[in-house]
Amino acid sequence: MRTLPEQRCIANTLRRRIIPCMDVRDGRVVKGIQFKGLRDSGDPVELGRRYSEEGADELVFLDITAGVEGRATAVRMVERVAKEVFIPFTVGGGIRKAQDAQDLLRAGCDKISVNSAAVRRPELISELAAQFGSQCVVLAVDAIRTSSGYRISVDAGRTITEIPLEAWLAEGQKRGAGEVLLTSMDCDGGQTGFDLELLRIAAGLCKVPLIASGGFGHPRHALEAFAAGADAALAASVFHDQIMNIRAVKKYLKEHGTEVRIC
């Protein structure tokens, strides 16, 4: 597990955060719409370096097929990215036990993210929080709108469970998750804005920081997410494709009265 150097720019928890996300498959960053139609978006090391230099507050790296394929996240790839970024770095995908998390933390990430494995065995959250601390455990939640309300999906969106969003957020926090990364499967990749209803529901239940994911297409979408209760806004394709850059987003937010870290 690395120690953050003093010069590392760490977001003040009172400020809103902008977080690029790299979905990785076979060593490459990919992006699709609603987890489908994945296309190549570049090298994770190069993108990680660029986002760190552009002023991202944190970086999220998700090995999106590790869990489905029943393997651990590629530790060597995490090591390579960690050497290039000087911001907090979260890694998820294929973490099924504490040893998996420890391997990734030793490889250089600062936080670990769990999703499908935690849904299937919620005790995993408790075990990770007990061994590494809640501040290290991010609960990634993929939610989809149904006729019965929002439900939790797993296996990179392939399987929709009967678990209500509200129940899972409550249990995840009770078991020690220190942060929630909430993705709207309905809005993912669409660049038409976050699911604000979903965010309002989650914000009303979350006592830990809430990261909004799925739908970022314009800086105003981040403003809307923050107004709905999110503490951070996560984006992928708009940054990968250089439709906008992080500094420009933060400039817009600051001009509209939102406290952000400028670095």
Known catalytic membership, residue 155:
no
Mean pLDDT of 128-157: 96
pLDDT for residue 7? 33
Q: Name residue, tokens 């075990």.
A: 127
Mean pLDDT of the chain: 89
pLDDT for residue 9? 40
pLDDT for residue 85? 92
Banded pLDDT at 193 (limits 50, 70, 90): very high
Which of 43-47, 143-147, 156-160 is most confident? Answer: 143-147
Banded pLDDT at 42 (limits 50, 70, 90): confident
Catalytic residue among 142, 188, 195, 231: 142
Report the alpha-carbon distance of residue 4 to residue 86 in Å, rounded: 8
pLDDT at 74 over 90: no
pLDDT for residue 72? 63
Report the alpha-carbon distance of residue 186 to residue 145 in Å, rounded: 7
pLDDT for residue 30? 81
Looking only at the bridges linking them, the beta strands covering 59-63 and 17-25 are parallel
Report the alpha-carbon distance of residue 82 to residue 65 in Å, rounded: 20
Mean pLDDT of 81-103: 94
Mean pLDDT of 239-256: 94
Catalytic residue among 23, 100, 110, 231: 23
Known catalytic membership, residue 241:
no
Percentage of residues of the chain with pLDDT beyond 90: 73
Report the alpha-carbon distance of residue 67 to residue 61 in Å, rounded: 14
pLDDT for residue 26? 77
Q: What is the pLDDT of residues 84-94, one digit of tens each?
A: 999 999 999 88
Q: What is the pLDDT of residues 194-237, one digit of tens each?
A: 999 999 999 999 999 999 999 999 999 999 999 999 999 999 98
Higher pLDDT, 76 or 178: 178
pLDDT at 253 over 60: yes
Helix residue ranges per DSSP H, the chain? 44-54, 66-69, 75-82, 98-107, 116-120, 123-132, 165-174, 196-205, 219-227, 237-240, 246-255
pLDDT at 41 over 90: no
Q: How many residues does the chain have?
A: 263
Options 3.20.20.450, 3.20.20.70, 3.40.50.170, 3.40.50.620; CATH for 17-255 is 3.20.20.70
pLDDT at 5 over 60: no
